[in-house]
Chain A
Amino acid sequence: MKARAFSYFRAATIEQALDAHALVGDDARFIAGGQSLVPALSLRLQAPRLLIDITHIGELRGVRREGGFLRIGALTRHCEMLSEPLIAEFAPLLQAAAPFVAHPAIRNRGTFGGSVALADPASEFPAMTLALDAEIEIAGPSGSRRIKADDFFIDLFETALQPGELITAIYVPLFKADQRFAFDEMARRRGDYALVGCGMLATCAGDRINDIRISFFSVGNTPTRVKGAEATLIGSSLNSERIAAAQAALEGDLAPPENDEVPPAMRLHLARVLLGRLLGRLGESA
């Protein structure tokens, strides 16, 4: 099927993009990589009157250090997560997740900002912003603000982003020498959305875990931090007993929805297996 007719405007600045959206309102959509929006328009799930192309806005590009953060521009493509040295050094969890996002050609176009804005609960990057305690920078008609990932994801495809607001960058706290990370997912085929996926970032003193943030995707309506499991691990060292306790805690942390393909009990089981595997790897990466 083909998209309904729309007009196209290529914005040169953030201001132009915001102004155009403000004028047209609900009937306007920003387009970044288009790797989710174009299929949605082809299927006529959406039929905007105006597409505002944001990919030529220089201010949304680039990856650089800023204070204790890595500032990752919204237009950073998935493929750059794999090739950009600053990401490898200061946000290695994102680099580890990137190969699991779609297929190479989709990674050549899809953007980090677009993935976070869409907030697909089966997507890798939105969940990783939670594990990383990242902050999302948003520009809107009334100015710019920064919001913690913890406060950003609200419900199924629903975020703190108001209509007409633009994600300009994502700020990730710089990876430190006393930190460790792990990432993996289970999917039926390579490149498919995961049945269950998980990423984690721990701050350690020797074998002791001083802090850990664990985030799952494909387990419910939003990317989900498992705070019960985190609490069983903080303050102790990683041994098989603690890992089992964390796995058991998932029962209280996750409530996978009814689904014909993957029943909730199976998803919970897969989540436990994945958590055990990743905590094991975290222990080995000392």
Chain B
Amino acid sequence: MSGFDENLLDEADETVRVRFVVNGRKVACEVAPRETLVDCLRNELELTGTHAGCEMGACGACLVQLDGRAVHSCLMYAVQADGARIDTIDGLSESGVIADLQAEFHRRNALQCGFCTPGMLVNANELLSQVAEPSREEIRDALSGNYCRCTGYEAIVDAIDAVAKARNEGGSAT
């Protein structure tokens, strides 16, 4: 059984139905195969917290969690995510899991225009879930794929560092 239907080739411009669990809610939408996940999230699902910058994997503004791991939503097509669990900055904010990171970013001016911030937070969240108390060097290394054109990074590293320490002491950073 080949499983492949040649008629599929004539339908490149037609949409296909995909289903995923986005921020805990089951959703279905119609997408063209070439529609990236970031475009689907922003345009079809109107979840505009995830930003589209370079659209080629270089800037990190589009990071989301796919089945629990940080990935670039500009580097995959929505059809590839069919059946997956996706958590965006919108959901992570609502659920409160990154509230301490957000508060610390705010307190330390770790954002100015805020374009890079969703990606920074998704990345920081993953780092802190893997390494309990990363060194500043490890934090910088983890952020190597996230561009910020405003802050000069220092305040972002400070904020993540402070939250890591506070979480370990069982308190809040501020």
Residues of A within 8 A of B (CB): 1-13, 15-16, 19-20, 23-24, 31, 34-35, 38-39, 41-43, 49-51, 53, 55, 79, 99, 102-106, 108-109, 189-191
The distance in angstroms between the C-alpha atoms of A109 and B174, with both chains bound, is: 35
B9 touching A7 by the CB < 8 A rule? yes
B33 touching A106 by the CB < 8 A rule? no
Partner of B34, one of A3, A20, A34, A106: A3
A-facing residues in B68-124 (Cβ within 8 Å):
69-72, 74-77, 79-80, 82, 123
B72 touching A43 by the CB < 8 A rule? no
B33 touching A6 by the CB < 8 A rule? yes
A79 CB contacts on chain B under 8 angstroms: 69
The distance in angstroms between the C-alpha atoms of A9 and B69, with both chains bound, is: 24
Q: Mark B126-144, 1 if CB is under 8 A from A, else 0.
A: 1100000000000011101
Measured CB to CB, the closest approach of chain B to A3, in angstroms, equals: 5
A8 touching B69 by the CB < 8 A rule? no
Measured CB to CB, the closest approach of chain B to A8, in angstroms, equals: 4
Chain B: CB-nearest residue to A77: B69
Q: A2-B34, A19-B2, A42-B56 are in contact. Are A104 and B142 (CB under 8 A)?
A: yes
The distance in angstroms between the C-alpha atoms of A70 and B53, with both chains bound, is: 40
A-facing residues in B1-45 (Cβ within 8 Å):
1-4, 6, 8-9, 11-13, 16, 32-34, 36
Partner of B76, one of A7, A10, A34: A34
B9 touching A103 by the CB < 8 A rule? no
Q: A5-B32, A55-B80, A106-B57 are in contact. Are A12 and B75 (CB under 8 A)?
A: no
B123 CB contacts on chain A under 8 angstroms: 104-105
Interface size class of B (residues with CB under 8 A): 35 or more
Chain B: CB-nearest residue to A43: B56
The distance in angstroms between the C-alpha atoms of A165 and B48, with both chains bound, is: 40
A5 CB contacts on chain B under 8 angstroms: 12-13, 32-34
Chain A: CB-nearest residue to B58: A39
B34 CB contacts on chain A under 8 angstroms: 2-6, 41
The distance in angstroms between the C-alpha atoms of A103 and B145, with both chains bound, is: 5
Chain A: CB-nearest residue to B31: A8
B74 CB contacts on chain A under 8 angstroms: 38, 42
Identify which of A35, A39, A49 gathers the most chain B CB atoms within 10 Å of its CB: A39
B140 CB contacts on chain A under 8 angstroms: 190
B6 CB contacts on chain A under 8 angstroms: 23-24
Partner of A109, one of B2, B16, B75, B142: B75
What would be 18 A-B contacts, judged by CB atoms less than 8 Å apart?
A7-B11, A8-B79, A19-B3, A20-B4, A34-B75, A35-B57, A39-B75, A49-B12, A50-B8, A50-B9, A51-B77, A79-B69, A103-B145, A104-B123, A104-B127, A105-B60, A108-B71, A109-B71
